[in-house]
Amino acid sequence: MFNRTSLQAAAALASISLLSACSVFSDGESAGDQRIVVGTTSSPSTLDPAAAWDNSWELFRNVFQTLVAFPTGTTSPKPDAADCKFKEGSSSRVFECVLHDGLTFSNGHKLDAKAVQYSIERIRKIDVDGGPNGMLGSLDKVEAIDDRTVVFRLNKSDATFPFILATPAMSIVDPAEYPADQLRKDGKLVGSGPYVLDSYTEGQKAELTRNPSYKGFADRKNGGVTIRYFKESEPMVAALRKKEIDATYRGLTAEEVVALQADTPENKGLQLVESTGADIRYLVFNARDASVARLPVRKAIAQLVDRDELVNKVYQGTAEPLYSMVPKGISGHTTKFYDRFGSPDAAKAKAILRDAGITEPVKLDFWYTTDRYGSSTAAEFKELKRQLESSGLFQVTLHGKPWKDFQAGYQKGLYPVFGRGWFPDFPDPDNFVAPFIGEENVLGTPYVSPKITKELIPKSRRESDRGAVTDAFVQAQEIMVQDVRLLPLWQGKLYIAASDDIGGGERALDPQTVMQMWELSRRTSW
């Protein structure tokens, strides 16, 4: 029988599954002896943390340590390699970390404060285009005070800095193994995390075994993990059904999720763990383009888009409507766009345009990338086109380009309306607002809002209690709704498909939606 688990039941299931897992092994067997094979369509772009601000984080989280991290069930940084805190009276500008005693890299070399300083300074020195140095804008300098103490001095108040240090981009590397001024290129990897990378074949496979010298929070429930990389999801699902892999993560299409949910013979012995994702999709309006420069045009589009129909028709329930840039599950989430515009209404949209003196159908060009967010993107934009044109108020021409060309185009301000996705660096509302606002932002489309950039965000970054910044981001989102420069569409759901003898899937994803492989275990019998 096919099993479907939602993360809402995870708290109860976690305790039950772990207890049952402990009781079902044969004599001489334990969870720690079992090896797990995980399939994914998301292969690393690099093995060097200094170059990665992408899905390479999946591998890094499992073989490197960071100073702080997100253990299962947490949404704020907790100790990993160190105990850290902002210095009292520093206004969130001096962050001190004291390393745990006796830390070593998997090669036996000592992990000390100088190694941490080296790792961070190396990111800044190499400064890879599009790399993680872009996350360190608030860092002035890092100092190794003694063997175990590291101090980060910031050039401005930034209470989100611990969240940045918790990303796998800030993995601690061995100075003896990683050049100070260039990327490591020998295809090897040395860290101090839960696993050791025994072997790696680009685009095919990574073999991980338990790191015997590891000292950290991860409670490893298996003896090792093999990660198999697939170019397409179809052969990955076929491998799961044939028991060639134990679980899948990243890459399942909406159609495959729906097919896996069916109670059919080919799904016998499989389970699907569902959780709410933090990745979002949205439209960007370039107000410097005449076609969408007028606010009533953007408001009319916001009044027409039917998110429910979009996610049901295109994504078959594997996504959910989103009415603010901050998604569900993150503090500060609102439904501001629904509160302002309500349900889709062509009559209201027509009135918005007519009141602005716009009586002829507005001609628009919508752009999207053909190869970054999945095969459903083209269908999504066809549906948006249908919705807008069915009102008689718009004429939409669609344009699709491969990511490299698409990215170059929007960064030059060539597109009046284009679709983007966002995979958060860390689970804080700041990461869903700050990157998109300002003269220079990640979208290449200036969006100037002094209230947000000069008051709300700086004020929130002085507050180390992140639960206390909700009001600031609610205000920011109200401004964003008034401006309609960004139109949130939907947020994704995450799915782990696995054999039903695999436990821990409901605990494997951290708040960055990175898979913590150590949570997976094999039950040898029921």
In tens, the pLDDT along 467-511 reads 899 999 999 999 999 999 999 999 998 899 999 999 999 899 887
pLDDT bin (cut points 50, 70, 90) of residue 389 is very high
In tens, the pLDDT along 325-340 reads 999 989 899 999 999 9
pLDDT bin (cut points 50, 70, 90) of residue 130 is confident
Which among 78, 63, 173 is positioned nearest to 116, based on CA atoms?
A: 173
CB count within 10 Å of CB 125 equals 14
**Alpha carbon distance 121, 81 (integer Å):** 18
- Tell me which amino acid residue 258 is: V
Indicate the burial class of 155 (C-beta count within 10 angstroms; 0-12, 13-18, 19 or more).
exposed
What backbone phi and psi angles, to 5 degrees, belong to 28?
85, -10
pLDDT bin (cut points 50, 70, 90) of residue 524 is low
In tens, the pLDDT along 279-312 reads 899 999 999 999 999 999 999 999 999 999 999 9
Q: What is the three-class DSSP state of 486?
A: strand
> For a pLDDT cut of 70, what percent of the chain falls above it?
93
Indicate the burial class of 420 (C-beta count within 10 angstroms; 0-12, 13-18, 19 or more).
buried
pLDDT at 375 over 50: yes
* Helices 307-314, 377-390: inter-axial angle, 10-degree rounding: 140
**Residue 206: what pLDDT?**
97
Which residues is 227 bridged to in the sheet?
38, 206
**Residue 298: what pLDDT?**
98
- The size of the chain, in residues, is 526
Residue 265's alpha-carbon distances to 262, 270, 482, in angstroms, are: 9, 10, 52
Q: Residue 130: left if φ>0, alpha if ψ -120 to 50, beta else—which one?
A: left
pLDDT at 14 over 60: no
In tens, the pLDDT along 233-264 reads 999 999 999 999 999 988 888 899 999 999 99
Q: How many helices and strands (H and E) does the chain possess?
A: 15, 20
- Tell me which amino acid residue 177 is: E
**Alpha carbon distance 477, 436 (integer Å):** 12
Which residues is 151 bridged to in the sheet?
96, 143
Q: What are the b/e assignments for 175-208, b being 16+ CB within 10 Å? A: beebeeeebbeeeebbbbbbbbbeebeeeeebbb
In tens, the pLDDT along 226-235 reads 999 998 899 9
**Alpha carbon distance 418, 326 (integer Å):** 19
